[in-house]
Structure 1
C-alpha cells in the first residue's frame, strides 16, 4: 500500500479494516454461501469441511505463497531418514530388551522350518509348479514371543499401526487367523478345544498339539493351508486337522484320526528290522466340502498322508505331507506336497547375524504367497484355458468371509430385529442365533416370554448365518417370510436345524404403519421403500463356460412396501441404529442401480463427488473475496 512500509505498525490494522470492508460489501453473497456451506456439511462429515478449508487456502495466494519456502525434496529425504531410524531403532530396542524363551523343553518347541512345496495338476490339463516357503511350527499350549522372532499370541498393541506391522516380532502366528473367528481367551489352545467340542470330541484326549503354518511377516502374508498335529497323553500322534483358507477369507477344517488298527495289521506283515524305522503317520480320506481353487468344483475327496514331524527323544524330524485331490469318480486331479528343505531352526539359538540373514532370505517368500497364487491362476486360465468355477457360498461346516462395514451395520439391525420377533412371540420358543463375518460378535440365545427350561413344549431353533451376504440380501425383501424361505431353500445363505418352526418367528404380516419421529426419517425410508426390489437368487455351481440362466421374473404385481425390519428400526431403534441402517441400505440400493451392486465403486464415486462439491464451495467463497 502507498504510504505504508512492511515494517509499519499500522499495516495489520489496515489489512483488518480492508477485510471487514469487503465482508460488509458482500454480506448477502456471504450469507448465501454460508447457508449453503452449513446445509451441505450438516449432511456430510468432517472430511468435507477439511477439504473445503484446504481448497480455500489453496485459492488464496497468501497460503500458496508459502509453498515457495518449502523444499519438498528435503522434506522427503528427512522423512525417509526419520522412518528408517524409527524402524531400525525399534529393532535394536527389540534385540536389547529381555525376551521370553520358548517356555518349553523337549521336541515341541517353536521352530522355523525351511520347506518346499510342489503342486502337480494331472487333470484336465497337466501343470506343475514348486517354490520354497517358510513354515513355522509352534506348540499350541504356548503363547508368547520367542526371542523377538516368532510370536504366537494375539496382538496386544492398542494402535492400528502397531497392530498392522507387529514390531514386537518379525514373524507371527495370530490365533485370529485360525479356526473360528471369535476371540478365545485361551489363544490357540482355547480355539482348538472349542473346535474339538464342536466335533463332539473330548479335548482331554489330545492334551498336546503342534501347529505348522505359514507365518505373517510384519503383518503381511497368506496361509492357504495349516496342519494341526494332535497327540495323546502319551505323546503319540493320534489325529490331524487340515485347515484350509481361500483367497476370499473363507475357512474350512478337516478333522481325521489315526487308524491304529490298520497300522497294527500292516506292521505285523513287515520285517521286524524295519519296524523301528517306521514314522508315525496319519492316512485318511475326507470328503471335499470347501471351494479353494477356482479351477476345481466342490465335489470329490482328499487323500491325506502326513508324517509325524516330532518324535520322542529324536527332536524335529521334518515335514512330509501329501494332499491328493480326486474327483467324485475317483480320478486323480491334483497332488500337493510340503516337505522340509533344510534343518529346522530354533530361534532361541540364533545370533543377531543369523536373524538378519533369515529375515532377508525369507521375508519375500512369506509376502509373495498370495501373488504367486494369482500368477498361477492366470497361467491356468490364459495359457491352459481351464474353466474356472465361480465361488459358491460356504456350506454349514465352513466359515464365511469377513463382513464389510455395510454388512456389519446390517447385522446389528437384524440381530435386534430377530430378538424383538422372538420376544413378541406368543409360543414358547428359544432361538440360538449364530452370526457370520464379524469376529467381534458372538452367538446369542433369545427366548420368548413363555419359554422356560422346564417346559417340554418349548421349541428350540438354531439359526446359523453362513455368509455375511445374507444381511445385505435380507433387506432387499419386502416380506420376511419370502426372505427367509428364499434364502434358505434357493440361495442357501443361512441354515437352520428346524425349518418348519420358522413360521413361528417370521409370520407373513400386513403392511406395518409408518411411525417416524421426524420428517427426515420419513423421507429417507420412503426413498428406501421406492428403491427396494427383490434380489436374484444365487446360482451354483456355475463355471466360466456356462451361461447364466435368464432371469425372466416378469412383473412383480405385489406392493413393494416398507419391510417389517424398516418399521422396527424407524419405530424402536435409537438414532445411531437408524442412521447406520438407512445409510447401509441406501448404499446397497443405489449401488444396485449405478455400479452393478459394487458398494466399493459407489464409494469412489461418492468421494469424487464430495471433493468436487468442496472445490465448488471453496471457489464460491474465494469469488466473494477477491
Structure 2
C-alpha cells in the first residue's frame, strides 16, 4: 500500500520540487546584478557582444507537396573566445558548470546557478574539454583551413536551460582580419541526434550601410574589448551539398543555397529583413523544393541592460519554446505524415557526419574492437597500414596502425570507419569476422540514401583476410 501511494504521489512530488527549485532560481536571476564578469584574468578582444535574438522561422515547401508552417526560437549570440557570466542569467564557457556528464539530476543542479548557459561540449565535434575558440580552431584544422584567416567569430545558437537544449541549426559567423563576414559554419542537427558540420565561404552582394559602432569594453575591469564588424556588403551567399538526413521527408542528397546578413549589424534586425535564408534544391532538376527564412521577432536584447521586469517577461516568454523544440518538430512531422507525404526510414550517416550518442555498452565494445584490430594488424605478415576512425559519435581522431613489415613504398593503406555506434554491437553477434565485414559494407538500399553503408571500408577483402588469418594464428 505504501509503495503504491509513493508511486502515485511521486510525479506530483517531482513536479512540486521542480517548480520550487525553478522559482528559487528565477528569483536569483531577477535580483542579482547582471553586469558582465569575465571568467578569465587574461585581457581579450572579441567581436560583438552577448545578445538575445528572438527569431521566427518560416518554412515553405513547394514539392512534392505544398506546405508551410512557422515556429519561433530563442537564439543567443556570443562572441567566440568570450568566457563570462552575466549574473545568474547567462553563462558562457563557465567551468563551474557540469558540462561533461550525461543529462542527469547532477547536471541539472549544477546549472541551477544560471538560467541559460553556453558551452563548447555540444558544438562541432563532441566532447573535448576546451573552450569555444579552441573547438573552432580544431575543426578548421581538421578541414585543412588555417584558423588565422578568421581571428574573430560569433556563434548564434540555442542556449541550454538546466543543462538541456535542442537546436536544429547553429551558426558560426567567421570574420577576417578586416572584421568582415567571410565564412560560415552551419551545424545541422536532425531529430535522431545526428549532426553534420558544413563550412562555406561567402560571396558578398549589395552595399552595406555605414557602421557607426565603436570599440568598447564589455566589463567594468576592462578585460574584454569588443570590436564592431565592418561589412562591405549587405548580403553574403554560399552553396553546399546536403549530405545529412535532415528530414524524414527529404532524401540525403540535394543542394542548398544560403544567404546571410551580418548578425552584428542593425540592418539584419529589421522585421522584414531576411536574417538568414536557406533554399533546398532538387539534386537533379535544380528546382526549388523548400525555402526556410529566418527573421528577427524583435530587436536583439543586451542582457546587461535588462530590468528585472524585462527579464521576468523574457524568461516566461522564451524558456518554454526551447524546451519544447523536439515536441514541436514531432507534431509537424506527424501532421505532414498523415496529411501530405510519406516518411522515409533513416539511413546510416554519410562519411563526415556525426552519428547519435553512443551507449555505455557501445563505448566499451569499441575499446574491445580497437584492441582486437590492433592485435590483428600487429600479427599481419603483409605490409599494411590501417587508418581506423572510430564512429564519429565517439571520437574524431584517426588511429593509425601498421604491420611490422609495412613501408610506404610497398604497403597498402586500409581505411576503416563505422557509420554508427550500433556497428560494435552488431559485429559481436555475427557468426565470424568475414561475415561481419561483408554484411556491414553492403548497401542498405534505403530510399533516402541508396549509397548508404553501415561500415565504410576501402579494402573489404584484404581487411577480412587480415582479421581472419590473424585470429586463427592467435
Residues 99-152 of structure 1 show CA distances to partners (whole Å, capped at 9, x for unaligned) of 753687786111100111111111122111112221111111213333322223
CA–CA separation in structure 2 for the residues paired with 1:221 and 1:251: 14
Partner of 2:117: 172
Match of 1:286 among 240, 244, 257: 240
Partner of 1:465: 418
Match of 2:153 among 188, 194, 209: 209
Match of 1:137 among 66, 70, 77: 77
SS at match of 2:440: helix
Alpha-carbon distance change, 364 to 439 in structure 1, aligned in 2, over 3 angstroms: same
Partner of 1:357: 313
Alpha-carbon distance change, 387 to 157 in structure 1, aligned in 2, over 3 angstroms: same
Q: Is 415-424 or 82-91 further displaced after alignment?
A: 82-91
Paired residues, number: 430
In the alignment, is the contact (CA less than 8 A) between 1:182 and 1:441 conserved in 2?
Answer: no
CA–CA separation in structure 1 for the residues paired with 2:11 and 2:235: 56
CA–CA separation in structure 1 for the residues paired with 2:9 and 2:418: 54
Higher strand fraction (1 or 2): 2
Alpha-carbon distance change, 331 to 404 in structure 1, aligned in 2, over 3 angstroms: same
Higher helix fraction (1 or 2): 1
Alignment of 1:474 onto 2:474: no
Matches within 5 A, 1:182-201: 182-185=127-130, 187-201=131-145
In the alignment, is the contact (CA less than 8 A) between 1:302 and 1:326 conserved in 2?
Answer: yes
CA–CA separation in structure 2 for the residues paired with 1:471 and 1:436: 9
In the alignment, is the contact (CA less than 8 A) between 1:407 and 1:471 conserved in 2?
Answer: yes
Partner of 2:254: 300
CA–CA separation in structure 2 for the residues paired with 1:279 and 1:293: 32
Residues 319-377 of structure 1 show CA distances to partners (whole Å, capped at 9, x for unaligned) of 71010111121121111111111111111112222222211111121112111111111
Matches within 5 A, 1:154-553: 156-157=96-97, 160-164=104-108, 166-185=111-130, 187-259=131-203, 263=205, 279-311=233-265, 317=269, 320-328=275-283, 329-384=285-340, 386-436=341-391, 439=394, 443-451=398-406, 456-491=409-444, 492-497=453-458, 501-503=462-464, 505-507=466-468
In the alignment, is the contact (CA less than 8 A) between 1:116 and 1:339 conserved in 2?
Answer: yes
Compute the RMSD of aligned alpha carbons: 3.5
In the alignment, is the contact (CA less than 8 A) between 1:283 and 1:306 conserved in 2?
Answer: yes
Match of 2:62 among 112, 122, 125: 122
CA–CA separation in structure 2 for the residues paired with 1:292 and 1:489: 23
**Cα deviation, residue 174, structure 1:** 3.1
Partner of 1:535: none
CA–CA separation in structure 2 for the residues paired with 1:227 and 1:373: 19
Structure 1 unpaired stretches of 5+: 1-57, 59-63, 271-275, 513-567, 569-626
In the alignment, is the contact (CA less than 8 A) between 1:289 and 1:298 conserved in 2?
Answer: yes
Partner of 2:227: none
Match of 1:109 among 49, 61, 65: 49
Structure 2 unpaired stretches of 5+: 209-229, 445-452
Residues 416-445 of structure 1 show CA distances to partners (whole Å, capped at 9, x for unaligned) of 211211222233443332212654795433
**Cα deviation, residue 502, structure 1:** 2.4
CA–CA separation in structure 1 for the residues paired with 2:122 and 2:329: 19
SS at match of 1:284: strand
**Cα deviation, residue 96, structure 1:** 4.1
Alpha-carbon distance change, 235 to 74 in structure 1, aligned in 2, over 3 angstroms: closer
Larger Rg: 1
CA–CA separation in structure 1 for the residues paired with 2:11 and 2:415: 57
Alpha-carbon distance change, 331 to 482 in structure 1, aligned in 2, over 3 angstroms: same
In the alignment, is the contact (CA less than 8 A) between 1:102 and 1:348 conserved in 2?
Answer: no
Matches within 5 A, 1:32-51: none
CA–CA separation in structure 1 for the residues paired with 2:9 and 2:390: 52
In the alignment, is the contact (CA less than 8 A) between 1:480 and 1:508 conserved in 2?
Answer: no
SS at match of 2:358: coil
Matches within 5 A, 1:573-592: none
**Cα deviation, residue 391, structure 1:** 0.5
Q: Is 417-426 or 95-104 further displaced after alignment?
A: 95-104
Alpha-carbon distance change, 506 to 381 in structure 1, aligned in 2, over 3 angstroms: same
In the alignment, is the contact (CA less than 8 A) between 1:225 and 1:245 conserved in 2?
Answer: yes
**Cα deviation, residue 86, structure 1:** 4.8
In the alignment, is the contact (CA less than 8 A) between 2:141 and 2:147 conserved in 1?
Answer: yes
When normalised by structure 2's length, the TM-score is 0.79
Partner of 1:548: none
